Structure 1
């Protein structure tokens, strides 16, 4: 009988990232998928700044950025006329080391992650299906079926369901999936096109209630189209081709589609499961939440699920924390999923609403408003923070405590760039650490050394104050780089109390 620490079901980006982060922290994993290989097509296109910040932990960010494409601008079109252009280059220049929108299609992204996993000595077990499992209290016994029909039992300390929106894992644990399905049918197509102006930029086109998004891969003439299918054509999607869908919005861009390389249709759902955890079984990514593609959040949200859970599983398996630490995964990620569904639902409803008044607002008012608003620095930064997920916080988590300056427990650590370095360099490792901006108290270094907790002290700069940090305060950072504790006094006793109250032992 095979044994492992964590059995991961599903080898999309969520499952692959979970495997990478667990292996890097010293755990044993098996990752299975019933497909024969990585996806060849996908709808997910954007890799957001927060994801890239985490990718620094495994030295993957630079490679992903190099392989992707930084979208320079978004153009808004209505009724055949370009109404606005929103510059995206360096939109978050003061917020993140990755202040752009990166296009890196999911199929290429998956292959990249599979290669990184292979470099760490782990292969995805393809054409391997989870038949059933039993949570025995101290472990999970899973029955697996291979492509030749042979079955085996795998014992794992925990099981992670990263197996998509129709998740068999979710069904077996009996977790609900409340929400609904939008009535609109969407199509997605990879095309070769000419006449695109400006070429290499993103375009959103509206023509009455028809909507179309066009994104460049960064390769000459190659684009991804996502649009709505209207009227009775949406009733039989299985028979549709690209020629069948409405082309009013496409024609409004004054372009020529030379070749359709791939075409598919899909429905958009908005659902969140009621349990992200049941005993020793967890749900992540689309198995836990699905929503509109507005803002390019889906794949990134699943990746952040994986990173949130990975360090907690590691701490529990290694005996450094009690099993109750794992409950914070559901607390933190479920709250964000509900908020994300609510936000994307509003955007999606606006983009697809039918009727004369909705058409007027979408084609006449919204482009002007967006163009003017984006020129205001505060508005531009806010929009970047929302889309990039750098605004995400865990203020209500049991793992969050204290406030120093304007930074409080549960916040993402503010990024502070300086001429020679930034304060994110130490975040390239996975583990607890302490940051002090200014002079740390004399006993802090001793305490950190005794507890094998890295201490990073930064010479106080005006930029630190501008970022909301307080001089001499202690900022305890979780392994996923969120602020766990912000203590303006810089007290060793406060650090001691934080860990003891939560049963976390750093040197177990």
Structure 2
């Protein structure tokens, strides 16, 4: 196939999710990757609540939860003993259907996405490398090289660079990638082990400037150790073995390792590209932003990039929106990426800072203060909302308008349950829809039916008010389930004006 609507370079989670969502929209995609096979080792582990919510659109959520591991709590250790325990089981209760931390390793995650993509008749083209590309009036011309060294020309309407931190797409566009590299070298070890820290919960050591954490995986005794190496051993990374770093795990977290399934080292950067779009070319995921592993945000943010861009590309390719819609991808995602990099950088710097004062803060004050702060419901809710990404919003976007109740245009729709009703049940749709809590006008009902715009009217219940939703107004939801427009009226002309002002057609087929 030498012509497609969207050429995707890179078959990690970001590229695969973009290909999946576009395929579901009926967009002709081609996805290539220079590796010969999917990775069998992985660093990314956490699938956050917001990702699981969005995965309902392709019936992925349940499979991820069934095959992964729910983490009930995180434990902080100091001087070889547990010092604080924070429960996840109640922290997000009432905020999302997925009020827990889900561990589902990236290699398994990718395999699931590949299998789902193949159901759309799309296979990853392996050992295929992008060598150069250029843009012209009608699209992109890309040059690809396969394993045999044979060159091929591919024409596409758009190009998506999902090709990681060393992105050839970003480099070809000459986009700056400002930021830096942490001095620490990370290691990750997949192990079978035993001990008090191998109990299905997450454990982190606050003792020294080196970072060390134990992440539980599905299966008894199966865990992932992630730590840092700072001393002279970093000069000999190619020969570094688990035995060189295992002493700390045994001494500080009392982990008895019975088998090392694999071990690797890597460096971590904190960078954000100066732009996420240039003409018909986009960068997503690690090609656009990289940051420390604090909070398990990286993979989830790339997946969010993909879903944000997918529906916009599909609308423009179908002639339902002007090219201006594609500008909102960068506008909505780059600010979040910059804030995330700054936040994770501060957290990681605190955890790994050196010196007597830093050690005092970590080993004495943090174990005392963190449980007290976590005992406060507002603090727990803020922490969960932030890490789970359910607080991410696009309030400043050109696509966001109005506010009713506590909900603004650009917000994630709050989750609410009433007897026999779950307002997220309709969000498996990938089309625009309107939700009303209470009642609406006959005119609104008639107009939505004529336009083919799905209208969901929920009988009023106090649970909706508790969630911050307004009575008898309406919420226009985008295909990615974020609120586009919140309005207290029951006037469909408000919706007509919304689409007209943004040069989008009222075509909901």
Bin the TM-score by the shorter chain. over 0.9
* Cα distance in structure 2, aligned partners of 1:223 and 1:336: 31
Contact 1:474 1:491 in 2 (8 A): no
* Cα distance in structure 1, aligned partners of 2:431 and 2:330: 21
* TM-score of the aligned structures, taking structure 1 as reference length: 0.98
The reply on whether 1:7 has 2:21 as its aligned counterpart is no
Contact 1:10 1:33 in 2 (8 A): yes
Match of 1:167 in 2: 167
Partner secondary structure for residue 211 of structure 2: strand
Q: Following TM superposition, by how much is the alpha carbon of 1:201 offset from its aligned partner in structure 2, in angstroms?
A: 1.3
Task: Tell me how many residue pairs correspond in the alignment.
Answer: 508
Match of 2:122 in 1: 122
Contact 2:496 2:506 in 1 (8 A): no
Q: Following TM superposition, by how much is the alpha carbon of 1:368 offset from its aligned partner in structure 2, in angstroms?
A: 1.7
Aligned counterparts, 1:79-94, within 5 A = 79-94=79-94
Match of 1:283 in 2: 283
Match of 1:357 in 2: 357
Match of 2:435 in 1: 435
* Cα distance in structure 2, aligned partners of 1:371 and 1:344: 20
Match of 1:38 in 2: 38
* Cα distance in structure 1, aligned partners of 2:138 and 2:211: 51
Partner secondary structure for residue 421 of structure 2: coil
The reply on whether 1:269 has 2:269 as its aligned counterpart is yes
Contact 1:441 1:472 in 2 (8 A): no
* Cα distance in structure 2, aligned partners of 1:101 and 1:299: 14
* Cα distance in structure 2, aligned partners of 1:38 and 1:417: 40
Provide structure 1 residue ranges, at least 5 long, that are not aligned to the other structure: none
Q: Following TM superposition, by how much is the alpha carbon of 1:147 offset from its aligned partner in structure 2, in angstroms?
A: 1.0
Match of 2:370 in 1: 370
* Cα distance in structure 1, aligned partners of 2:441 and 2:329: 33
Match of 2:73 in 1: 73
Answer with 224-233 or 41-50: which moved more. 224-233
Compared CA separation, residues 246 and 222, structure 1 to 2 (3 A): closer
The reply on whether 1:237 has 2:233 as its aligned counterpart is no
Dislocated runs of 4+, deviation >6 Å: none
* Cα distance in structure 1, aligned partners of 2:472 and 2:418: 19
Answer with 462-471 or 104-113: which moved more. 462-471
Q: Following TM superposition, by how much is the alpha carbon of 1:173 offset from its aligned partner in structure 2, in angstroms?
A: 0.8
* Cα distance in structure 2, aligned partners of 1:263 and 1:248: 15
Contact 2:437 2:460 in 1 (8 A): yes
* Cα distance in structure 2, aligned partners of 1:373 and 1:359: 20
Q: Following TM superposition, by how much is the alpha carbon of 1:246 offset from its aligned partner in structure 2, in angstroms?
A: 6.6
Contact 1:211 1:249 in 2 (8 A): no
Match of 1:195 in 2: 195
Provide structure 2 residue ranges, at least 5 long, that are not aligned to the other structure: none
Aligned counterparts, 1:487-498, within 5 A = 487-498=487-498
Match of 1:145 in 2: 145
Match of 1:332 in 2: 332
Compared CA separation, residues 197 and 348, structure 1 to 2 (3 A): closer
Q: Following TM superposition, by how much is the alpha carbon of 1:480 offset from its aligned partner in structure 2, in angstroms?
A: 0.3
Match of 2:213 in 1: 213
**What's the CA shift string for 1:26-82, capped at 9, x where partnerless?**
111000001111111010001011001011001111111101100121111011121
Partner secondary structure for residue 135 of structure 1: strand
Match of 1:453 in 2: 453
* TM-score of the aligned structures, taking structure 2 as reference length: 0.98
Q: Following TM superposition, by how much is the alpha carbon of 1:252 offset from its aligned partner in structure 2, in angstroms?
A: 1.7
